[in-house]
Amino acid sequence: MARTAILNVMVQAATKAGRSLIRDFGEVENLQVSRKGPGDFVSAADRRAEEIIRTELTKARPNFGLIMEESGITEGTDGQHVWHVDPLDGTTNFLHGIPIFATSIALERLGQIVAAVVYNPVMDELYTAERGRGAFLNDRRLRVAGRSELSEMVFATGLPRIGHSDHGRMLKQLRHIMPELAGIRRFGAASLDLAWTASGRVDGYWEYDLNSWDIAAGALIVKEAGGYVSETDGKQGFLESGNIVAGNEIAHKHILRLLKAAQG
């Protein structure tokens, strides 16, 4: 299916930022890095990629608002559209030379996410979706995994940051969930956890305390690939709460059930 003009703008911004990330990844030991909090870093690579995306998006649509991880909120003048941008999702991986990271851009129109791009520059994998028009990996249409047996499923998740108070809850959940599955993965980039749920590499995914820039694009890609996305209690406000469960219909149901059971 041909991409719309707005999706082309997003693809152009994400791939240009991706090329900048690849250049910086090649010289990661020389990058300037600062610490935002315990286990939370930002580098010159994050900032450079963010500026590339800002320039591309504002050149094409000067009136739209922006929510960007590193530079915060820029109010728009059209009152209808907001971009949610994570220039480098997976900074910890990036800084350790682990080649699992992505650029994530979503477009919100009148409160709904309508277009999404997640670009993994190392694998040159471009995930795109538009509301009602399906999800794609490069030119291939995506569909969530078809597995129905929990014992054959692999789920991705995210662990709370160092110093975070949620470690106890996570350990309880893992104790409940791990014996039921084929495996658990912690890849370290929420946008790719969702993109890989959409492409069926993993059957499901859950994580807490994320931000809209981490998940807005990936969530639309999962939905457009035929998957289910909700908060951990089944409600729809995951962009606000940052608590998310995604998967094929069966995996999604199982995760909700298991998280509830783990609460005791």
Q: Provide the binding-site residues for Ca ion, judged by CB under 5 A.
A: 69, 86, 88-89, 91, 214
- β-strands 112-120, 72-74: how paired? unpaired
196 near 187, Cβ under 8 Å?
Answer: yes
Q: Which residues contact 122 (CB under 8 A, 6 or more apart)?
A: 22, 25, 99, 100, 101
With contacts defined by CB under 6 A, name the span among 15-23, 187-195, 229-237, 245-253 that binds ligand IPD.
Answer: 187-195
Between helix 44-60 and helix 5-25 the angle, nearest 10°, is: 160
> Distance between CA atoms of 190 and 72, rounded to whole angstroms?
19
* 214 part of the interface to ligand IPD, by CB under 6 A: yes
* 70 part of the interface to ligand IPD, by CB under 6 A: no
User: Is the Cβ of residue 150 or residue 205 nearer to ligand IPD in the bound state?
Assistant: 205
Q: Which does 245 bind (CB under 5 to 8 A by kind): Ca ion, ligand IPD, none?
A: none
Per DSSP, which regions of the chain are E strands?
Answer: 33-37, 40-43, 65-68, 72-74, 81-89, 102-109, 112-120, 125-130, 135-137, 140-141, 154-157, 183-185, 204-207, 228-230, 244-247
Q: Which does 202 bind (CB under 5 to 8 A by kind): ligand IPD, Ca ion, none?
A: none
Q: Which residues pair with 85 in a beta bridge?
A: 68, 105
149 near 134, Cβ under 8 Å?
Answer: no
Beta carbon of residue 13, minimum distance to Ca ion (angstroms, whole number): 15
* 158 part of the interface to ligand IPD, by CB under 6 A: yes
User: Is the Cβ of residue 45 or residue 190 nearer to ligand IPD in the bound state?
Assistant: 190
Structure tokens given for 196:
């890989």
Q: Which residues contact 120 (CB under 8 A, 6 or more apart)?
A: 18, 100, 101, 102, 126, 127, 192, 195
User: Is the Cβ of residue 156 or residue 250 nearer to ligand IPD in the bound state?
Assistant: 156
With contacts defined by CB under 6 A, name the span among 9-17, 59-67, 83-91, 130-138 that binds ligand IPD.
Answer: 83-91
Q: Which of residues 190-209 bind ligand IPD (CB under 6 A)?
A: 190, 207
Q: Which does 210 bind (CB under 5 to 8 A by kind): Ca ion, ligand IPD, none?
A: ligand IPD
Q: Is 46 annotated as a binding residue?
A: no
Q: Is 233 annotated as a binding residue?
A: no
User: Is the Cβ of residue 100 or residue 115 nearer to ligand IPD in the bound state?
Assistant: 100
Positions that interact with ligand IPD (CB under 6 A): 69, 86, 89-92, 158, 188-190, 207, 210, 214
